[in-house]
Amino acid sequence: MTRPWAYDERGSAAVEAVIAVPAFALFVGLIIFGGRTAMTHQSVETAAADAARSASIERTTSSAKSEAVSAATASLANQGIDCLDIDVVVDASGFSRAVGEAADVSVTVQCRLDLSDLSVPGVPGSRLIKATVTSPIDTWRERG
């Protein structure tokens, strides 16, 4: 005796869709999260390098700090990175060394990346991306 209900597959596509669609959406969300984070990290490293180089060619500590901040924010803006907040920390203590002594300037750029639009479980609403770059100051250049 055959049972007609035993081989009935009606509704199985709906069950598969209920299981597969959210899993696929989560997978796509995680790919977007990883890509956005990696892109922002690379951009923050570039901004820190630009800021350190701009600071190292200045002659005074105050101008080095202001040029580093300007260079970092301009670099991030030129790359299309939209940070919730940007923090630029400049260690320009090398400017206090005497001419002829090796010195450098170090710049740390922090960018808080907005991830709230992803709505992926386990992904925070924002993430802090940070990079530090050091650039040498010309050994024989006058410093103030």
How high is the mean pLDDT in each 10-residue block of the chain (144 residues)?
A: 62 83 89 95 98 96 97 97 96 92 96 90 90 94 76
Angstrom distance (rounded) from CA 61 to CA 55:
8
pTM of the model: 0.84
- The answer to whether 115 touches 33, Cβ cutoff 8 Å, is yes
- The answer to whether 116 touches 31, Cβ cutoff 8 Å, is no
Helix residue ranges per DSSP H, the chain = 12-56, 61-78
Return the beta strands (E) in 65-119 as ranges. 83-91, 103-114
